[in-house]
Amino acid sequence: MSSIKIRTQQLEDATEIRLLITHPMENGRNRDPVSGALIPAHFIQELNIQLNDAPLVAIDMAGSIAKNPYFSFRLKNPPAGARLKVAWLDNLQLSDSAEHLID
Amino acid sequence: MHSKQRRLFIKHSLTCAAAYPCALFNSKSLYAAWSALDFRTDPYADILKRLFNARSIIDSELLKISLPQTAENGAVVPITVSSDLDNIQRLYILVEKNPTPLAAAFTLSSELAVYLTARIKMAESCHVVVIAEQEGELLRNRQWVNVVLGGCGGG
């Protein structure tokens, strides 16, 4: 299952894009409650959103973003049938991407 | 990426590479946008200096930020940044007292209205600072947030 959920909603004068990504976003400073060992850093570094293959938003981040990152944006005038593509890359070089059509 | 931005980016990358040769070996590629230096565990003032050098930053109410006055749980603090200003190309969210002060840096296309939300971690009560780059000017706004329970491991 994809780690990325994309929702869009038509507002009065914009289209809202909501993203929810399943990711631990460990900053490397937390300890395992049972063993007391440090949990290695594991966080998304880059999140890219494209609209019809053109860059829309690029976010650089690290462990100061909450677990399971949530973001929302507002698009001024989305062309009908526009295609959103969301992709992330983390510090362990894992990645995922998902696409969504705006109605 | 526009060609002008790309040129600037390459220029900055080369400057960084020259100043911090070791960074070259750590990063997966010279052109990776993500900068380990910006997201280092350093005091807020050092990160601010690294990001903006000595550029002047103007405090502006035109950059609106909305955060809870008190966050029960520092692990998930919602933030909304909005502005009626056009041409905001870059937005930075910084948490003054987090071990890693820079939470996120956004590069926005002109297709977007400046209205975005995110969820950040906060280690302790402090100011959350948002800095926007608009046509070469740096605008800043900030808000104090009381944190009851520090975010797990704190940002």
Q: Which domain holds residue B24?
A: 1-37
The pair of three-digit structure tokens given for residue B138, joined into one six-digit string:
């740096």
The reply to whether B30 and B44 lie within a common domain is no
The reply to whether B21 and B82 lie within a common domain is no
Quick check: B102 and A64 CB within 8 A?
A: yes
How far does B27 lie from chain A, in Å, by closest CA?
10
Q: What is the DSSP string of B79-139?
A: EEEEES-S-EEEEEEEETTSSS-EEEEEEE-TTEEEEEEEEE--SSSEEEEEEEEETTEEE
pLDDT at res. B16: 45
Across-strand partners of B16? Answer: none
The reply to whether B100 and B73 lie within a common domain is yes
User: What is the total count of domains within chain A?
Assistant: 1
Please check whether residue B154 lies inside any domain of the structure: no
How far does A11 lie from chain B, in Å, by closest CA?
12
The interface predicted TM-score (ipTM) is 0.94
| pLDDT tens per residue across span A41-72 | 999 999 999 999 999 999 999 999 999 999 99
pLDDT band at A94 (very low <50, low <70, confident <90, very high): very high
CB count within 10 Å of CB B66 equals: 11
The reply to whether B95 and B139 lie within a common domain is yes
Sign of the dihedral through C-alpha B131, B32, B27, A99: positive
Please check whether residue B28 lies inside any domain of the structure: yes
| pLDDT tens per residue across span B22-62 | 444 333 333 446 888 899 999 999 999 999 998 999 999 99
Residue that the structure tokens 């900053």 belong to: A27
Asked if B89 is an interface residue toward chain A (Cβ–Cβ < 8 A), one would say no
CATH code assigned at B141: 2.60.40.2470
The reply to whether B92 and B22 lie within a common domain is no
Chain B residues touching A61 at Cβ < 8 A: 39, 103-105
The reply to whether B73 and B139 lie within a common domain is yes
Quick check: A76 and B77 CB within 8 A?
A: no
pLDDT at res. A26: 95
Please check whether residue B135 lies inside any domain of the structure: yes
Please check whether residue B133 lies inside any domain of the structure: yes
Q: How far apart are CA A82 and CA A10, in angstroms?
A: 13
Of A60, A62, A77, the CB nearest to B100: A62
CATH code assigned at A63: 2.60.40.10
Residuewise pLDDT in 10s, chain B (155 residues): 455 666 655 555 555 444 444 444 333 333 446 888 899 999 999 999 999 998 999 999 999 999 999 999 999 999 999 999 988 999 999 999 999 999 999 999 999 999 999 999 999 999 999 999 998 899 999 999 999 987 665 55
The reply to whether B140 and B123 lie within a common domain is yes
The reply to whether B24 and B80 lie within a common domain is no
The reply to whether B11 and B46 lie within a common domain is no
How far does A33 lie from chain B, in Å, by closest CA?
11
Q: Which domain holds residue A54?
A: 4-101
User: What is the total count of domains within chain B?
Assistant: 2
